[in-house]
């Protein structure tokens, strides 16, 4: 079963392709909770749930009323055709964690359809899920934004870091880059050592760092420190442009 939480056409707000017109498919479900990010969302029943800024695509128990079960490829294709897209538009698969569906034949068939239309397909992933590039060759033509979670996510290291998955994605995908979420506190408590450890698994790919923040105000708190860190390390600073422009609004 595949769950689709939302879809919308906007611009890419993060990472290497920031600003690129992109059609987003946000799928429901995740292998992590990331309560350390401290974003709070109120569920349909009035319960406040803490997690990342897309916790509504993580916790089906509290937000499942907005999760649509997808049972056939035609449903996803109809959604795609409901948009008028330039051929250069990217398709972004996000979540939650979209790669929990990596072995689902329906999911793979949709990727193949999108590639057949000439779009670059990008995955926003936490990089902890193994991908079978040999069996599902469509993934070899995809781009992967490896948002490996750091200790500031609140998740244990054993759950956050999968060296085999990182190395496989970096080796066999068309394009991959790291994208770390950093904040003032983590910069002062050894996050550089964490990042150095992770990027050793794929030393040839680009490294982006972006400020922690599910709101415009929180971005402002951390942005300058992250910029200075990137200047020191030679990393790419990635803003969170969608939050900068539209704050906490969804579907943008």
pLDDT tens figures, 222-233: 999 999 999 999
Residue of 196, 202, 184, 188 lying closest to 145 (CA atoms): 202
Q: How far are the Cα atoms of 22, 67, 70, 71, 179 from residue 4, in angstroms, in the given order?
A: 17, 6, 7, 11, 24
CB 164, CB 157: distance < 8 Å: no
User: Cα separation of 66 and 185, whole Å?
Assistant: 34
- The per-residue pLDDT for range 69-117, each reduced to its tens digit, is 999 999 999 999 999 999 889 999 999 999 999 999 999 999 999 999 9
CATH number of 2-246: 3.20.20.70
Predicted confidence (pLDDT) at residue 67 exceeds the cutoff of 80 = yes
Task: Specify the pLDDT at position 227.
Answer: 96
Average pLDDT along the chain? 94
Distance from C-alpha of 181 to C-alpha of 15, rounded to nearest angstrom: 11
Q: Poorest-confidence range of 155-159, 199-203, 214-218?
A: 214-218
Cβ atoms within 10 Å, residue 189 = 13
Check pLDDT > 70 for residue 160: yes
pLDDT beyond 90 at 36: no
How do the domains of the chain map onto residue ranges? Answer: 2-246
Tokens 């469509």 belong to residue: 138
Q: Looking at beta carbons, which pairs linking 158-163 to residues 24 or more positions away fall under 8 Å?
A: 159/31, 159/32, 159/128, 160/32, 160/126, 160/128, 161/128, 161/198, 162/127, 162/128, 162/129, 162/130, 163/201
pLDDT at 252 over 70: no
- The predicted-structure confidence for 49-64, as pLDDT tens digits, reads as follows 998 989 999 999 999 9
CB 207 within 8 A of CB 177: yes
E strands, 95-228, where? Answer: 121-125, 143-146, 175-182, 206-211
User: For position 11, what pLDDT does the model report?
Assistant: 95
Among the ranges given (44-58, 142-156, 201-215), the one the predictor scored with the smallest mean pLDDT: 44-58
pTM value > 0.85: yes
Tokens of 133: 């590039």
Give yes or no for residue 171 having a pLDDT over 90. Answer: yes
DSSP one-letter code for 140: G
């Amino acid at each position: 079963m595949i769950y689709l939480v939302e879809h919308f056409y906007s611009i890419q707000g993060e990472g290497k392709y920031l600003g690129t017109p992109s059609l987003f498919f946000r799928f429901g479900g995740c292998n992590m909770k990331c309560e350390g990010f401290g974003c709070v969302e109120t569920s349909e029943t009035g319960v406040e749930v803490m997690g990342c800024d897309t916790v509504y695509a993580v916790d089906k128990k509290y937000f499942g009323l907005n999760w649509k079960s997808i049972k056939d490829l035609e449903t996803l294709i109809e959604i795609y055709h409901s948009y008028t897209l330039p051929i250069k538009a990217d398709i972004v698969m996000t979540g939650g964690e979209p790669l929990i569906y990596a072995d689902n034949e329906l999911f793979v068939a949709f990727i193949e359809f999108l590639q057949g239309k000439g779009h670059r397909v990008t995955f926003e992933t936490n990089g902890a899920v193994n991908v079978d590039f040999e069996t599902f060759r469509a993934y070899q033509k995809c781009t992967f934004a490896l948002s490996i979670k750091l200790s500031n996510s609140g998740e244990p290291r054993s759950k956050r870091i999968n060296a085999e998955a990182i190395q496989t994605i970096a080796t066999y995908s068309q394009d991959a880059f790291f994208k770390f979420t950093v904040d003032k506190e983590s910069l002062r408590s050894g996050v550089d050592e964490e990042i150095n450890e992770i990027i050793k698994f794929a030393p040839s790919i680009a490294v982006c760092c972006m400020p922690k923040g599910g709101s415009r105000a929180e971005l402002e708190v951390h942005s300058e420190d992250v910029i200075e860190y990137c200047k020191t390390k030679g990393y790419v600073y990635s803003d969170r442009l969608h939050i900068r422009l539209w704050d906490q609004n969804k579907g943008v």
